[in-house]
Structure 1
Amino acid sequence: MFTNRRDVQIQWGDCDPANIVYYPRYFAMFDDSTSVLFEVAGCSKQDLVRVYGLVGIPIVDTRAKFYIPSTHGDWITIESRIEKFNRSSFEVIHKVTKGDDLAIEAFETRVLVGRDPGDPNKLKSVAVPANIIEKFMRG
């Protein structure tokens, strides 16, 4: 399945007083990485809204395993891929390397959501369109 890699330099504002990345900052980086993954696969967040009528792809579950810390000025590589598509959800895996070493493994479950046809003030899960799956299968 399609994989995207991006290099990220750790900024001063990413770090806590001990000069290591404050862990919630990684989750913001992973969110950005998922957005970039969709864009590079040919399906930007704007496309999800305009073409597919979705509201978004919120996270419903996430976790991470941290192995090696990073500090201000370090360069990390975030490799992101969709591991699996379900009816209306999908699983994303992010692997962060620092040099040749695995620094973090992170996991997200996201759901495609749109407006509920019965009540537009509510959100409802939407089946993943086949052509979105195709874009990721092509690699």
Structure 2
Amino acid sequence: MSYARVIAVEFNHCDPAGIVFYPRYFEMINSVVENFFDEELHYPFSRMHVEEGYAVPTARIETEFHAPSWLGERLQFELEVTRVGRSSLHLTLVARGGDGPKLTAWSVLVFVNRDGRPERWPEDVREKLERMSTEARDV
């Protein structure tokens, strides 16, 4: 199961030539992840961060850029859960535009407490993540 979200490339994402400035892709990726937690896991960042005092910082991200994205383009992001650890979450994100793939990112998030120490995923969240994980289907 994958999660999809469309993000329109806006002026604030671009350099003066109208091409997405690469750090802005990481903001888009974060938006996709945040909305995935809200819409699919029903665990919004506002609850996680503000009410409960947890966070999911990115511990690792590797990105391959395939082609530039342009002002006005609509990018289709797809997120797949590839592995669920005790406190980690491995994701693959692919962004596609009108002329094909734009980027692929492999990311590892870690569920941490207020002190920044890894914590076990809440059981209800873990169960949802495991059902979505491609790792379980690959075995």
TM above 0.5, one fold? Answer: yes
**TM-score (ref. length: structure 2):** 0.84
Aligned to 1:47: 47
Contact 1:63 1:107 in 2 (8 A): yes
Residue equivalent to 1:130: 123
Structure 1 residues 71 and 100: alpha-carbon distance in aligned structure 2, compared to 1, 3 A threshold: closer
More strand by share: 1
| 38-47 vs 69-78, greater mean Cα deviation | 38-47
Indicate the residue corresponding to 1:64 in structure 2: 63
Question: What are the within-5 Å matches in structure 2 for residues 24-43 of structure 1?
Answer: 24-41=23-40, 42-43=42-43
- Which structure is larger by alpha-carbon Rg, 1 or 2? 1
Deviations 1:67-98 (A, max 9, x none): 11111101110111221111111111111011
SS at match of 1:16: coil
Between 38-47 and 83-92, report the one with greater CA deviation. 38-47
Structure 1 residues without counterparts, runs of 5 or longer: 116-121
Corresponding pairs, count: 131
Distance 2:98 2:124 in 1: 35
Moved more, 24-33 or 53-62: 53-62
Match of 2:137 in 1: none
CA drift of 1:100 comes to: 6.2
SS in 2 for 1:128: coil
- Alpha-carbon RMSD across the aligned residues, in angstroms, is 1.8
Gaps of 5+ in 2: 133-139
Q: 1:58 offset after TM fit, Å?
A: 0.5
Residue equivalent to 1:10: 9
Instruction: Tell me if the contact between 1:91 and 1:109 (Cα under 8 Å) persists in the aligned partners.
Output: yes
- Larger displacement relative to structure 2 (37-46 or 24-33): 37-46
Task: Indicate the percent of aligned positions where both proteins have the same amino acid.
Answer: 25
Structure 2 residue aligned with 1:119: none
Alignment CA distance shift 1:66-1:54 (3 Å)? same
Structure number with higher helix proportion? 2
Opposite residue 84 of structure 1, the aligned amino acid is: R
Structure 1 position 17, deviation (Å): 2.0
Is it true that 1:94 corresponds to 2:74 in the alignment? no
